[in-house]
A and B are shown apart, each in its own frame.
Chain A
Amino acid sequence: MTRRALADLPLEWATADMIAKLSPGGAGLPERTVALAAFHALPTESNLLFTGYVDLRAAEVERAAPVPLPQEVCPLSAAALPEGAAAVIEISSAGVGAYLGAEATAAGLKVTPLNSSTSMGGATEDRTAALVAALWNAGVSITLSAGRLAAPIVIRVVAPESGSSLLARIAVSLGDGAQASIVEEISGSAAAPGVATSLLATSSEITLGARASLALSSIQDLPEDRAYVTVRRHTFGEKAQLQLTVAQVGARLVRGRIDHLLSGDGSGVRQVEVVFGAGDQIHDLTTYSLHSGQKTVGDLLAKGVFAGNARGYIKGVTTIPRSGRGTNSYLGEFGMLLSKTARSVAIPSLWIDQPDCERAAHGSSVGPIDPAQIFYLRSRGLTDAEARRTIVMGFLEPVVAALPLDADAERLRDVLAAKLDAALAKQPAALAS
């Protein structure tokens, strides 16, 4: 494979012509134009500490232009609704489809096409956000103005197979006091082996009203030849709460950015993110928390397991400005390396202007599987391989356990176990110590 340029997200389709095609009748064109200018003007990474490029060497996405998709939300059949779910929304190269169960309809859940002129936060600050804001071809708006929806909303995002890109915006709005849960399944069917020729980019834009509460779980197990760019931006009203659980398992390259804008007093976020990289996978993930409200809570935990030649860059930036009195913030980044050629980079940063904080801390560790734990499990009759498997699965379990639907938890457990077995089988020498 020839080495490619790294620094410039070489997308031939990021042009004015393309955004005109994506804006029938000119709707949303001004917003896209601003974002496109930002995409071309911004550096891929402005933080000098972080990797200054998106490593697209293994992804041929420069000619995978997005195709204009139908703007309406097509009805799906009732059979599409998973057991125990309130609603299902599917986003793919065919556009957006949805089916709302009786409970969702009764609770007043609204799933509508995203208004083309809805501006996207961060679109002029971050290059990957600007990319989605300029060139999105699928968009959906999910609104629950009040009340509680007990069963989860399932959002399925299906990556395009090859030759074209899907850039999807998912806007979620919860009104004052509303409560809901969402499960995101990001997957795609396996394509022929080789370099990725399609890009999946998603933007999750969540606005929580006062006292609103959302549990969002996301499982990403794309085929290991895809490039995946993801931005999430969460805005918190007073006392709003978000529980975010993310599993990044698949894709050749993942570049993710999460922004928690904790402006509402007393608002809080709990985030658990696990990353499992193997083969030649690259995971490049950053979480930004801005504690601008008073007495806000950020409890962020990231865990990474890396095997084969996988590389993981797990980064966090916690900012407590002068207004953020009484902040309680913790950021933990923990890695486990299963092979000698894997690499883990942790960069947890703190920027603090307000001394009156309850807690502002971060911790990180990287280590091998603890030999004492293996010894203990072997003394209980497990084989060496079983012991290792049990320990790694236990390391990842907090994310699995947070999934609201049993079927999802089972599926993720299976995906992780299969991947782990493959990784352990490939590295017998490294693990024999």
Chain B
Amino acid sequence: MTVAKETVRDEREQYAFHDDITYLRETKAGLTEATVREISETKDEPAWMLEYRLRAYKHFEARAMPMWGGDLTKLDFSKIVYYRKPSEREEKSWDDVPDQIKKTFERLGIPEAERKFLSGVGAQYDSEVVYHSVREDLQKLGVVFMGTDQGMKEYPEIFKKYFGTVVPAEDNKFAALNSAVWSGGSFVYVPKGVEVPLPLQAYFRINGQNTGQFERTLIVVDEGASLHYIEGCTAPNWATDSLHVAVVEVIALPGAKVRYTTIQNWSNDVYNLVTKRAHAHAGATVEWIDANTGAQLTMKYPGIYLLGEKAHAEIVSVAVASKGQHQDTGAKAVHLAPNTTSRIVGKSVCKDGGVATYRGTVRVAPGATGVTTSVRCDALILDEGSRSETYPYIDIQEDDTSMSHEATVGRVSDDQIFYLMSRGMTENEATNLIVQGFLEVFTKELPMEYALEFNRLIRLEMEGALG
């Protein structure tokens, strides 16, 4: 099938780059209480945040590594740099961004994307937000979209009221780590009744060997408001392990509607250990649309706690695991109020020895009457040597719950390949098309530009899949 290979252009290098940046300030590798204090001091934070960080650090130290999920034995916390700051202040205008960093972003196509339709860009270069722009009309609506550090200082009331309420510092070992050393990330506040007409977008990148990136995102969508937030990740390739430990907290107040879309394409040496969780109050809708194609190991289970009556949760989780990758992803819906609904769709593809795991939880607590929930998780295994695992956990404690769950694992059927080949496709093209169709449940939820980019990523991942 040598001809087939030419049909797919290898675009991998587009995402694999590294610029030599002179960091203005960075901490020494390794994590101690002094590192935590240093980070807080550098950022000139209020005392309560330092206390919070120290509390989290103590918990991180005391908490054992998780015994489940992916292989974390090679992760050496002492070799990670926990904070580095590439430029002195947050930039409001593209022109002010240092040339070196700008060049990197240009390769990612940020200005292009912005010109077209994005309403705001928060670009994270390593640990600090260096560039932020929010369109003026959004500012007029009172929408806040800025770096989390800045948000803490400029909107202390909203920030302090919600920070750490969805993902407490003691939630898990990695949430504790993030809480101790977090820096960067986005802070979004949408006031009552405001509908943000276009998606807000943040690009994240990791640069620098052994750089940990610990961004912390806090999104508060007030009553009746709506927001679509998009996060896309790329990272340069490095030979040694990088660590990405993020925490994302979303609060959807009564009647709010929030969609959070992620395309994760870290380079294949990154440990991507992310805690994403949302609180959905009465009548609110929260949607996690989550795709993971990169990283060495991803452990990410976007969760939604349905706290108010008639809240709705929607989670679409897609994973592609190739050589050397373990995508341990899934979803979590916790029904704590009556008449709440949730729908979970998980799709995974594994190939070339990759491992794809679906790990999901659905809980219906006592008192949450009239719940309807459905879970569907499907997996495609493209070759021998690859592995698919499914671990759904369904815990129902109300008698009038309606729960359904389905899962299938299989390969691409010979009939489908044969049909497409009879229509003139090569075997590789046919497989690509079938895999794209399999993942369409995710792609169709994306804005068009992203859908194209995602399909290109999948084609790239699939390149030579039939060897």
A: which residues have CB within 8 A of B?
48-49, 322, 335, 337-357, 359-368, 430, 433
Indicate if the CB atoms of A361 and B393 lie closer than 8 Å: no
Contacts of A347 in B (CB 8 A): 391-394
User: In whole angstroms, how far apart are the Cα atoms of A355 and B412 in the complex?
Assistant: 9
Q: Per a CB cutoff under 8 Å, which of A48, A346, A350 touches B405?
A: A346
User: In whole angstroms, how far apart are the Cα atoms of A343 and B395 in the complex?
Assistant: 7
Contacts of A360 in B (CB 8 A): 408-410
The answer to whether the Cβ of B382 comes within 8 Å of any Cβ in the partner chain is yes
Indicate if the CB atoms of A356 and B409 lie closer than 8 Å: no
Indicate if the CB atoms of B401 and A357 lie closer than 8 Å: no
Given A349-B389, A350-B388, A352-B389: A363 in contact with B394 (beta carbons within 8 A): no
Contacts of B47 in A (CB 8 A): none
Chain B residue nearest in CB terms to A336: B399
A-B contact list, 20 entries, CB within 8 Å: A48-B67, A337-B396, A343-B396, A345-B393, A345-B396, A346-B392, A349-B391, A349-B392, A350-B388, A352-B381, A352-B409, A355-B383, A357-B410, A361-B406, A362-B406, A363-B405, A364-B394, A365-B404, A367-B403, A430-B399
Contacts of A364 in B (CB 8 A): 392, 394, 403-405
User: In whole angstroms, how far apart are the Cα atoms of A337 and B402 in the complex?
Assistant: 10
The answer to whether the Cβ of B35 comes within 8 Å of any Cβ in the partner chain is no
Chain A residue nearest in CB terms to B388: A352
Indicate if the CB atoms of A362 and B381 lie closer than 8 Å: no
Indicate if the CB atoms of A367 and B402 lie closer than 8 Å: yes
Chain A residue nearest in CB terms to B398: A340
Q: Kindly provide the distance from the CB of A399 to the nearest chain B CB, expressed in whole angstroms.
A: 22
Indicate if the CB atoms of B400 and A368 lie closer than 8 Å: yes
Q: Kindly provide the distance from the CB of B373 to the nearest chain A CB, expressed in whole angstroms.
A: 9
Chain B residue nearest in CB terms to A329: B409
The answer to whether the Cβ of B386 comes within 8 Å of any Cβ in the partner chain is yes
Q: How many interface contacts (CB-CB < 8 Å) are there between A and B?
A: 121
Q: Kindly provide the distance from the CB of A387 to the nearest chain B CB, expressed in whole angstroms.
A: 16
User: In whole angstroms, how far apart are the Cα atoms of A359 and B397 in the complex?
Assistant: 31
Contacts of B206 in A (CB 8 A): none
Contact with A along B346-383 (1 / 0, CB 8 A): 00000000000000000000100000000000010111
Chain A residue nearest in CB terms to B387: A353
Q: Kindly provide the distance from the CB of A319 to the nearest chain B CB, expressed in whole angstroms.
A: 10
Given A49-B393, A347-B394: A363 in contact with B406 (beta carbons within 8 A): yes
List 8 additional A-B contacts (Cβ < 8 Å) besides A346-B392, A355-B384.
A342-B397, A346-B405, A351-B387, A353-B387, A355-B410, A365-B402, A366-B396, A368-B399
Chain B residue nearest in CB terms to A370: B402
Chain A residue nearest in CB terms to B66: A48
Indicate if the CB atoms of B397 and A343 lie closer than 8 Å: yes
Contacts of A354 in B (CB 8 A): 381, 384
Contact with A along B60-80 (1 / 0, CB 8 A): 000000011000000000000
The answer to whether the Cβ of B104 comes within 8 Å of any Cβ in the partner chain is no
The answer to whether the Cβ of B411 comes within 8 Å of any Cβ in the partner chain is yes
The answer to whether the Cβ of B390 comes within 8 Å of any Cβ in the partner chain is yes
Q: Kindly provide the distance from the CB of A340 to the nearest chain B CB, expressed in whole angstroms.
A: 5
Given A347-B393, A357-B411, A360-B408: A352 in contact with B398 (beta carbons within 8 A): no
Indicate if the CB atoms of A352 and B396 lie closer than 8 Å: no
Q: Kindly provide the distance from the CB of A204 to the nearest chain B CB, expressed in whole angstroms.
A: 27
Given A335-B396, A343-B395: A367 in contact with B401 (beta carbons within 8 A): yes
Contacts of A430 in B (CB 8 A): 399
User: In whole angstroms, how far apart are the Cα atoms of A355 and B395 in the complex?
Assistant: 30
The answer to whether the Cβ of B21 comes within 8 Å of any Cβ in the partner chain is no
Contacts of B394 in A (CB 8 A): 344-347, 364, 366
Please give me the 6 A-B residue pairs with the lowest Cβ-Cβ distance, nearest first. Answer: A355-B381, A355-B411, A337-B399, A350-B390, A360-B409, A361-B408
The answer to whether the Cβ of B113 comes within 8 Å of any Cβ in the partner chain is no
Q: Kindly provide the distance from the CB of A14 to the nearest chain B CB, expressed in whole angstroms.
A: 26
The answer to whether the Cβ of B158 comes within 8 Å of any Cβ in the partner chain is no
Indicate if the CB atoms of A48 and B407 lie closer than 8 Å: no
Which residues of B324-363 have CB atoms within 8 Å of chain A's CB atoms? none
Given A49-B393, A340-B398, A367-B402: A352 in contact with B407 (beta carbons within 8 A): no
Indicate if the CB atoms of A363 and B389 lie closer than 8 Å: no
Indicate if the CB atoms of A350 and B389 lie closer than 8 Å: yes
Q: Kindly provide the distance from the CB of A261 to the nearest chain B CB, expressed in whole angstroms.
A: 20
Given A350-B407, A366-B394: A342 in contact with B382 (beta carbons within 8 A): no
Contacts of A339 in B (CB 8 A): 399
Chain A residue nearest in CB terms to B379: A352
Contacts of B382 in A (CB 8 A): 355
Indicate if the CB atoms of B390 and A349 lie closer than 8 Å: yes
Contacts of B406 in A (CB 8 A): 361-363
Contacts of B385 in A (CB 8 A): 322, 353
Interface centre among A342, A359, A361, A366 (most CB of B within 10 A): A366
Q: Kindly provide the distance from the CB of A431 to the nearest chain B CB, expressed in whole angstroms.
A: 8
User: In whole angstroms, how far apart are the Cα atoms of A112 and B392 in the complex?
Assistant: 44
Q: Per a CB cutoff under 8 Å, which of A337, A348, A359, A433 touches B392?
A: A348
User: In whole angstroms, how far apart are the Cα atoms of A410 and B388 in the complex?
Assistant: 44
Q: Per a CB cutoff under 8 Å, which of A349, A352, A366 touches B401?
A: A366
Chain A residue nearest in CB terms to B397: A343
Q: Kindly provide the distance from the CB of A167 to the nearest chain B CB, expressed in whole angstroms.
A: 31
Indicate if the CB atoms of B399 and A322 lie closer than 8 Å: no
User: In whole angstroms, how far apart are the Cα atoms of A335 and B398 in the complex?
Assistant: 12
Interface centre among B382, B399, B404, B405 (most CB of A within 10 A): B399
Q: Kindly provide the distance from the CB of B56 to the nearest chain A CB, expressed in whole angstroms.
A: 24
User: In whole angstroms, how far apart are the Cα atoms of A345 and B411 in the complex?
Assistant: 29
Q: Kindly provide the distance from the CB of A309 to the nearest chain B CB, expressed in whole angstroms.
A: 11
Contacts of B400 in A (CB 8 A): 337, 368, 433
Q: Kindly provide the distance from the CB of A95 to the nearest chain B CB, expressed in whole angstroms.
A: 42
Indicate if the CB atoms of B387 and A338 lie closer than 8 Å: no
User: In whole angstroms, how far apart are the Cα atoms of A342 and B389 in the complex?
Assistant: 29
Contacts of B379 in A (CB 8 A): 350, 352
Indicate if the CB atoms of B399 and A340 lie closer than 8 Å: yes
Q: Kindly provide the distance from the CB of A25 to the nearest chain B CB, expressed in whole angstroms.
A: 43
User: In whole angstroms, how far apart are the Cα atoms of A433 and B401 in the complex?
Assistant: 13
User: In whole angstroms, how far apart are the Cα atoms of A248 and B394 in the complex?
Assistant: 21
User: In whole angstroms, how far apart are the Cα atoms of A300 and B414 in the complex?
Assistant: 27
User: In whole angstroms, how far apart are the Cα atoms of A368 and B401 in the complex?
Assistant: 6
User: In whole angstroms, how far apart are the Cα atoms of A8 and B408 in the complex?
Assistant: 36
Q: Kindly provide the distance from the CB of A184 to the nearest chain B CB, expressed in whole angstroms.
A: 29
Chain A residue nearest in CB terms to B67: A48
Chain B residue nearest in CB terms to A349: B391
Indicate if the CB atoms of A361 and B407 lie closer than 8 Å: yes
Indicate if the CB atoms of A322 and B366 lie closer than 8 Å: no
Q: Kindly provide the distance from the CB of B377 to the nearest chain A CB, expressed in whole angstroms.
A: 9
Q: Kindly provide the distance from the CB of A264 to the nearest chain B CB, expressed in whole angstroms.
A: 21
Chain B residue nearest in CB terms to A431: B399
Contacts of A356 in B (CB 8 A): 384, 411
Given A351-B389, A352-B381, A362-B407: A345 in contact with B401 (beta carbons within 8 A): no
Q: Per a CB cutoff under 8 Å, which of B386, B391, B405 touches A49?
A: B391
Chain B residue nearest in CB terms to A317: B391
Indicate if the CB atoms of B404 and A350 lie closer than 8 Å: no
Contacts of B387 in A (CB 8 A): 351-353
User: In whole angstroms, how far apart are the Cα atoms of A300 and B347 in the complex?
Assistant: 24
Q: Kindly provide the distance from the CB of A428 to the nearest chain B CB, expressed in whole angstroms.
A: 13
Q: Kindly provide the distance from the CB of B466 to the nearest chain A CB, expressed in whole angstroms.
A: 12
Indicate if the CB atoms of B68 and A365 lie closer than 8 Å: no
User: In whole angstroms, how far apart are the Cα atoms of A49 and B388 in the complex?
Assistant: 17
Q: Per a CB cutoff under 8 Å, which of B399, B402, B407 touches A338?
A: B399
Q: Kindly provide the distance from the CB of B415 to the nearest chain A CB, expressed in whole angstroms.
A: 13
Chain A residue nearest in CB terms to B412: A355
Q: Kindly provide the distance from the CB of A344 to the nearest chain B CB, expressed in whole angstroms.
A: 5
User: In whole angstroms, how far apart are the Cα atoms of A306 and B408 in the complex?
Assistant: 27
User: In whole angstroms, how far apart are the Cα atoms of A244 and B404 in the complex?
Assistant: 25
Contacts of A337 in B (CB 8 A): 396, 398-401
Chain B residue nearest in CB terms to A347: B393
Contacts of A348 in B (CB 8 A): 390, 392, 405, 407
Contacts of A353 in B (CB 8 A): 384-387
User: In whole angstroms, how far apart are the Cα atoms of A348 and B382 in the complex?
Assistant: 23
User: In whole angstroms, how far apart are the Cα atoms of A366 and B391 in the complex?
Assistant: 17
User: In whole angstroms, how far apart are the Cα atoms of A352 and B35 in the complex?
Assistant: 43
